[in-house]
Amino acid sequence: MSSSSSLTRALGISALAAVAVNAWWGLSLSPPDKVQGQLVRILYVHPAVATMCYAGFGLCALGSICWLWPRTRSPRWDRLAVAGAEVGAVFCAATLITGSIWGKAAWGVWWTWDARLTLTAILFALSLGYLALRRAVDNPHSRALMSSAVALLMALTVVLDHYATAWFATLHQHTTLFKPSPSIHGWQLVTMCWSFVALGLVFAWMVVHRYRLEALEERYESEGYLVAIEARRAEGQPVSAAARPETGRVLVGSAASAERAEALVEDK
């Protein structure tokens, strides 16, 4: 059974094509920098993934605020929040990894307790906490309420992180692109701008699929046990005590437990 639709298929193919063009321009066509040399090629990935990390946590905050607001409260906003948080966490990890590699080559160290770096690490830790909290709480209302509080804290950290280079004395360089006269020109500017388009398409594809996954998990939480019972009845066998979960969530809380449920159904 396919997990894609015509919309996500088009989005996925566009993202792959855009990333391929980004790799071609970034690794081959764009010239080395006069100051940084070949290291500038890391910057055709790092700023874009960092921006997508912010976008993910921004979506998470938007979904959480809309869920908290009584007039707009809907499970859809909670799904958007968790999709943004998880995809944002992945891009945050990519930001830390690529930034660390650039730091080792440019500064001579993998890590330093610079304000921008430290705040990004805190943001990553908060996002892991957010995802762990969602796994720990069973009640959907309590889960959404508590995770919304963490989402707002993450949004505050994103603002601090973004302005860290302006507000604190940091090693990290200041804004390169988003200012009246960008610090880079020509092919370098084109390639860097394209990297935002390419990674933006990847980000959108990931968020759409993660949102769908959350909707499916919610549905499986409510119906998965019934599906297992129906399958058992179809086989003409009673449901054994071993297959009966203590609570619905123990058996059907995630895709992994879904696999276990399927294994129980198939076990004759």
Partner 1 sequence: MNYVWAAWLSCGVLLCVYSFRTLWRERTLRRLLGKKGPQWP
Judged by the rule CB under 8 A, the positions of this chain that interact with partner 1 are 1-3, 5-8, 23, 26-27, 38-39, 41-42, 45-46, 49, 87, 90, 93-94, 97-98, 101-102, 104-105, 202, 205-206, 209-210, 212-213, 215-217, 219-220, 223-224, 227, 254-255, 258-259, 261-262
Nearest-approach distance from CB 57 to partner 1, in angstroms: 16
Please give the structure tokens belonging to residue 51.
């921006």
Residue 51: other Cβ atoms inside 10 A:
20
| Residue 1: Cβ-neighbour burial (10 angstroms; 0-12, 13-18, 19+) | exposed
Residue closer to partner 1 (CB basis): 38 or 142: 38
Residue closer to partner 1 (CB basis): 136 or 234: 234
Residue closer to partner 1 (CB basis): 107 or 167: 107
Residue 195: other Cβ atoms inside 10 A:
25
Nearest-approach distance from CB 226 to partner 1, in angstroms: 10
Distance separating alpha carbons of residues 48 and 176, to the nearest angstrom: 12
Q: Which of 263, 254, 258, 60 is nearest to 138 (CA)?
A: 254
Half-sphere exposure of residue 165: CA atoms within 13 angstroms, side-chain side = 9
Nearest-approach distance from CB 98 to partner 1, in angstroms: 4
**Which spans in 75-185 are helix H?**
75-106, 115-136, 140-167
Nearest-approach distance from CB 68 to partner 1, in angstroms: 26
Residue closer to partner 1 (CB basis): 146 or 197: 197
Nearest-approach distance from CB 129 to partner 1, in angstroms: 19
